[in-house]
Amino acid sequence: MAKRDYYEILAVAKTASQQEIKSAYRKIAVRDHPDKNPGDKLAEERFKEAAEAYAVLSDSEKRGRYDRFGHQGVAGAGAGGFDPTIFADFSDILGDIFGFGGGRRGGGAGMTRGADLRYDLTLTFEEAAFGTETVLRIPRLETCPKCSGSGSADGAPPAVCNACGGRGQVRFTQGFFTVARTCPQCQGEGRVISDPCSECRGEGRVEKERSISVKIPGGVDTGARLRLSGEGEHGRRGGPPGDLYVVLQVRAHKHFRRDGSTVLSRLPISYVQAVLGTTVEVETLHGQTPLDIPAGTAHGRDFRLRGQGIDRLDGSGRGDHVVTVEVAVPHPRDLNPEEVQILRRLAEIGGHPVKEDKGVIERVKNFFG
């Protein structure tokens, strides 16, 4: 039976880059691996076929021979002479299939950067607008004071791991190829501590709670993130510390909303005030401010109070406060008979027909005797 073209198997063009070939193989390997398709012979054959194609096309020399001479040019490099160690360094592909990474290679002293930490901080509307200073209590791993981070009780340097020979990885055979995994004895460091510190049990770090003062600038909003360099967990074996990220959440205000540096609020006024005009005191973040409502103001009209909003983070000044007028229309049952009579008289003068409400009319008659 004639062999299929390797480019056809991987569904790539003959001009495909190495990255395109690798991505194509990864997709097929994840889909058709025998461990994911137990008992499916067709999937197993597709997987082996793709592995054979990748073994040739991922090697520039073999690919060149294949392009010139076809399958005859790479005889022995296919299924019959397949090199199982071709997958040894593809931890990303194997991780997709088996759900683990290839581990890190050891050989060093196990020095690693500390982990970054996240703290979610909730602020009031006013704290976000004006800024505040608060103290955070952060639990984190810090360098062990007893062993100074070495992890060893006597300060002796770690010994070479006898399970992996200092490589940080152990290899095992999975089907017809070899997989590299993080060494379970040294956790990928390549070194082990024979006499661990009693305080940290060889970790080199202990958990402590640290109080950190944080200044929140005015103008922040929900989703803003403050980065405190070096305030994360301490690194292992003298590695640099991680960072602390403070993620902000702002509580809703009972009167105000915001759009960036602009504060938004609503102002209810009576229909009489809307018709005749008035001056009212408006509540802002910066105190009470007088606002002139001109005669004939319509429902939904906006008034802008310059400079009464929130400080801009870029230092370009302060935003505004926008007040939206809401004309309150009372129900007739909330009016006294005299007010009803005046409104009906206004309707008559203006030639506006109104609905008769017998209950209201009787109240008016009773009022005037």
Lowest pLDDT segment from 31-35, 56-60, 304-308: 31-35
| Overall average pLDDT of the 208-218 stretch | 94
Q: What is the pTM of this model?
A: 0.58
Contact 61, 55 (CB under 8 A): no
Contact status, residue 233 vs residue 205, Cβ threshold 8 Å = yes
Joined together, the tokens standing for residue 61 give 């020399």
pLDDT at 336 over 90: no
Same domain for 136 and 243, yes or no, is yes
Residue 105 lies in a domain: no
pLDDT surpassing 80 at residue 314: yes
Q: Which pLDDT does position 305 carry in this prediction? A: 97
The whole-angstrom separation of Cα 262 and Cα 282 is 15
- Are 242 and 270 part of one and the same domain? no
Looking at per-residue confidence, does 153 or 322 come out higher?
Answer: 322
Tell whether 279 and 318 lie within a shared domain: yes
Find the domain containing 363 and state its range: 332-368
Q: pLDDT class for 111, splitting at 50, 70, 90? A: confident
Q: Which residue has the higher pLDDT, 24 or 76?
A: 24
Q: What percent of the chain has pLDDT over 70?
A: 84
124 in the same domain as 180 = yes
- When computed from its CA atoms, the radius of gyration of the chain, rounded to whole angstroms, is 38
Helix (H), strand (E) at residue 23: helix 18-32
Does 127 share its domain with 237?
yes
Does 111 map to a domain? no
State the average pLDDT over residues 10-35: 87
Regarding whether 322 and 359 lie in a shared domain, the answer is no
Q: Which helix H or strand E contains 91, and what residues bound it? A: helix 91-98
How much of the chain exceeds pLDDT 90, in percent? Answer: 41
Same domain, 126 and 240: yes
> Residue 295: its pLDDT value, please?
94
Q: What is the pLDDT of residue 307?
A: 95
Alpha helix (H) residue ranges in 165-295: 271-276
Tell me, what's the pLDDT at 91? 45
- Please check the confidence at residue 242 and state whether its pLDDT lies above 50: yes
Question: Averaging pLDDT over each range in 69-78, 308-317, 333-342, which range is the top one?
Answer: 308-317
* Domain contains 168: yes
Instruction: Specify if 91 maps to a domain.
Output: no
Identify the weakest region by mean pLDDT among 144-148, 192-196, 203-207, 253-257: 192-196
- Separation CA 62–CA 75 (nearest Å): 10
Please give the pLDDT value at position 177. 66
Mean pLDDT is lowest, of 48-57, 107-116, 218-227, 289-298, for 107-116
Q: What is the pLDDT of residue 174?
A: 63
Say if residue 302 is in the same domain as residue 237.
no
In terms of average pLDDT, the best of 16-30, 54-68, 268-282, 331-345 is 268-282
> Does residue 348 share a domain with residue 264?
no
Give yes or no: residues 138 and 233 share one domain: yes
| Same domain as 287, residue 189 | no
pLDDT at residue 81 is higher than 80: no
Q: What is the pLDDT of residues 144-184, one digit of tens each?
A: 999 888 888 887 778 888 888 888 888 776 666 667 788 88
Q: Where are the beta strands (DSSP E) in 154-243?
A: 159-160, 169-174, 177-182, 191-192, 205-216, 225-228
pLDDT value, residue 175: 61
More confident residue, 136 or 67: 136
Same domain for 263 and 311, yes or no, is yes
Q: Check: CB of residue 14 under 8 Å from CB of residue 6.
A: no
Q: How many CB atoms lie within 10 A of CB 176?
A: 12
C-alpha closest to that of 224 among 320, 132, 139: 132
Calculate the average pLDDT of the chain.
83
100 domain residue, yes or no? no
Measure CA 144 to chain center.
Answer: 32
pLDDT at residue 101 greater than cutoff 50: no
Q: What count of Cα atoms within 13 Å lies in the side-chain half-sphere of residue 77?
A: 22
Whole-number pLDDT of residue 108 = 43
- How many domains are there within the chain? 4
Report the CATH number that the domain containing residue 121 is assigned in CATH.
2.10.230.10
